[in-house]
Amino acid sequence: MSVQHGFHATMTAAPGRGDEVIALLLDAPSLPNPDCVVFLVGRSASDPDVIHVTEGWTTREAHAAFFATEPAQTLVAQLQKLVTGDSQYTDEVPVGGKAFAR
């Protein structure tokens, strides 16, 4: 499946809440979505409350349609309670590589 849209996001959890943010992200409703081709969650090695997410979607429209759903909006609302400041987004389209499953 081809990836035509993606991004890399960096967010900072409230102090000591990084594990909660990661748990929410690793159970994200986008994971079983067939249009979500890449969904990687990582954290800073020096600050466990800084979390990175890389997503790759089949199309920009598929991503927008998914984020208009109730499960996606619920996830966003839950994350907003745990994240401080503005998340930083970078335009990124994953093109290949390797990932692991938990």
Pair of tokens at residue 65:
């349609």
What tens digit of pLDDT does each residue of 10-39 get?
999 999 999 999 999 999 999 999 999 999
- pLDDT band at 96, cuts 50/70/90? confident
Answer yes or no: is 30 within a domain. yes
Answer yes or no: is 97 within a domain. no
| Phi, psi (rounded to 5 degrees) for 75 | -60, -45
Are the C-beta atoms of 38 and 94 separated by less than 8 Å?
A: yes
pLDDT score of 98: 81
Pair of tokens at residue 40:
């990687």
Here the CATH number for the domain that contains residue 16 is 3.30.70.100
Q: Dihedral of the CA atoms 13, 19, 23, 26 (nearest 10)?
A: 80
Answer yes or no: is 12 within a domain. yes
Answer yes or no: is 31 within a domain. yes
DSSP letter at 51 equals E
Q: Is the pLDDT assigned to residue 70 strictly greater than 90?
A: yes
pTM here? Answer: 0.90
Answer yes or no: is 99 within a domain. no
Answer yes or no: is 95 within a domain. no
Domain count, the chain: 1
- Domain range for 10 is 5-87
